[in-house]
Amino acid sequence: MIALDRAVVAVDVGTSAVRAALVSVDDGILRAVRVARTEGVGGATYVADALQRDVEGAVAALEVDGRPAALAIAAHIGAVAVDDALQPVVAPGSWSDARGLELLADMTEPILRHVLAASGRPAPAGGGLALAASLVGTDAARRVASVLSPKDLLVARLTGHVGADVVDAAYTLAFDVAAARWSDAADALGVPRGWLPPLATPDALVATLDEHAAARCRLAPGTSVVSGAPDGSAGIGILLGTRTDAIADVAGTTDVLGRLLVDLADAPRGSVRNPALVPSRWIAGGATGMTGGAVARWRALVGAVDEHAIADVPVGARGLQVVPGMSGTRFPRWRADDLGALVGQTPAHGAAEILRAAQEGASHVVREGVDVLDPSGSLPVVLAGGSTRSEHVVRMRAAILGRSVLVSSDPDVTLAGAAGLALVGAGLVDDLDEARDRLGIALRHVDPDARDVTAYAEQHEAWRATCDALVG
């Protein structure tokens, strides 16, 4: 019999699927399900009601039928303006939503520089502040009660509590990262302060499930709900915990990179700065833009190729290069207009070479970010995500990075991160380091092949030169 008072429910909302798990502090994952997203998959917007149904369906499929110690949600970033009934006043935005971004770009240089410095952002980005600014002065503005992230909307609909965790708040650009409070950025754009919800730390217990949501989720009314966090931040949090001597890489559609800092002033130029999931710490890094998503796109175009055939292609893909930034580049280049490219193709190149070049291109993108976070080249990279399921990709990643790679035994660390927040919030563990140990996440050490490191060092400089040439 499951001791539910020593178990939590974790939910990970991705752009294509929702995953949920019942996790015991003593025995790890007891049950897990995956539910494909039914609306707005991978787009700039999504359907709020459909996402809520997907999340409730995933949790219900766990068949808990009782009261776990806590529930926590991690979800992709985005923004939605809602009315008092928690109904969107315009279409909810996902991570690539750029509505209102031009209003941020049109701010006077001193004000924009101030907003970016306070929010820990190197460049303007879509999100809560941009969406809110686009609504100011419109008919829809009269109905806006709050501007929330996708995760915070889910929490509000499940519990009635309207709020935001400090990491999702940072992605709005209306948050002061150093002071851990809303900044004056909203004032500069005429956005009412009342649209910005109360703040909480990601592991804080903020509310309980209401009767109707509990029934749909097959959980007991009154189940405690943790504030939660963005998905990439949750993954970095469980991988690093309190560790400052490594860089985390959560490899998915994009690679989300992060390094834990004790002093915010140590964040390198060009990095995003967020509150960490551990107290009084920060994460420097950012999402790279399309990496794994670009590889998947090329795979869909050229068809299935055996992984061994891709691994057999020599370093450099016989002169073929792929620049994977199909929808602009983010950390560390921050060029929204960058496009992807296939460079150097000849009749001798087949599907295996194209996919090898795409995998190499994704790793070159990651190396640029990792080298910004650690110019010394000495820190290892803790790697999780879908890329870890391929041994040849892991070893390629190590060689291109020129660093040791510590491979997570659990690729799905965003779900584990949500579980960790729930375990901490429920008081079942002291911190995320203990949560990681309780979840049985181990790290396998992979050193790069010295010959491949030398070859890829030359390839990396050639690849960077190609990227620079493409933008003139």
Q: What is the pLDDT of residue 41?
A: 61
Same domain, 214 and 243: no
Residues in Cβ contact with 234 at an 8 Å cutoff, skipping those fewer than 6 apart: 12, 74, 202, 228, 277, 413, 414, 417, 418, 420, 421
Do 156 and 225 have their domain in common? yes
DSSP 91: P
Is residue 48 located within the same domain as residue 71?
yes
Domain contains 425: no
Instruction: Annotate 362-390 with DSSP letters as a single string.
Output: HHHHHHHHHHHH-TTS-S-EEEEEGGGG-
Asked, as a colleague might, if the bond just before 221 is cis with ω within 30 of 0, I would say no
Spatial distance between the Cα atoms of 179 and 182, rounded to a whole number of angstroms: 8
Task: Say yes or no: 275 and 226 in one domain.
Answer: no
Q: What is the dihedral of CA 13, 18, 21, 25, to 10 degrees?
A: -10
> How many domains is the chain built from?
2
The residue range of the domain holding 63 is: 4-231
What does 270-293 look like in DSSP terms, one character per residue?
T-EEEE-SSTT-EEEEEEEEESHH
Give the bridge partners for 263, in sequence order.
none
Assigned domain for 431 exists: no
Q: Which amino acid is at 133?
A: A
- Report how far apart, in Å, the C-alpha atoms of 182 and of each of 118, 193, 259 are: 10, 9, 24
The pLDDT score that the predictor gives to residue 408 is: 98
Residue 193: CATH number of its domain: 3.30.420.40
Residues 226 and 278 in one domain: no
What pLDDT sits at residue 337? 81
For residue 96, the model assigns a pLDDT of: 82
In this structure, the answer to whether residues 222 and 330 fall within a common structural domain is: no
- 269 and 121 share one domain: no
| pLDDT value for 79 | 97
The rounded distance, in Å, linking the Cα atoms of 260 and 137 is 40
Closest CA to 185 of 82, 99, 116, 95: 116
Q: Is 95 exposed, middle or buried (0-12, 13-18, 19+ CB in 10 A)?
A: buried
Residue 153: the pLDDT is 98
Instruction: Mark the ranges of the chain whose per-residue pLDDT is less than 50.
Output: none
Whether residue 376 is found in the same domain as residue 271: yes
Note whether 57 and 142 are same-domain residues: yes
Alpha helices by DSSP H, 61-146: 101-105, 109-119, 128-135
Contact call for residues 49 and 205 (beta carbons, < 8 A): no
Last residue in a domain, options 231, 255, 289: 231
Asked if residue 413 belongs to a domain, the reply is: no
How far is the CA of 308 from the CAs of 300, 325, 352, 390, 433, in angstroms? 18, 26, 9, 10, 36
| Boundary residue ending a domain (231, 251, 268) | 231
Residues 241 and 223 in one domain: no
Q: Is residue 383 part of a domain?
A: yes
User: Are residues 225 and 256 part of one domain?
Assistant: no
Of 182, 199, 231, the residue that ends a domain is 231
Tokens of residue 166, six digits? 């400090």
Helix/strand/coil for 113 = helix
Say if 417 falls within a structural domain: no
Helices assigned H by DSSP within 208-334: 211-217, 231-240, 292-302, 307-311
Non-local (6+) Cβ contacts of 61 within 8 A are 20, 33, 35
Q: Residue 137 falls within a domain, yes or no? A: yes
Q: Are residues 80 and 101 in the same domain?
A: yes
Task: Report yes or no on 432 lying in a domain.
Answer: no
Q: Does 392 map to a domain? A: yes
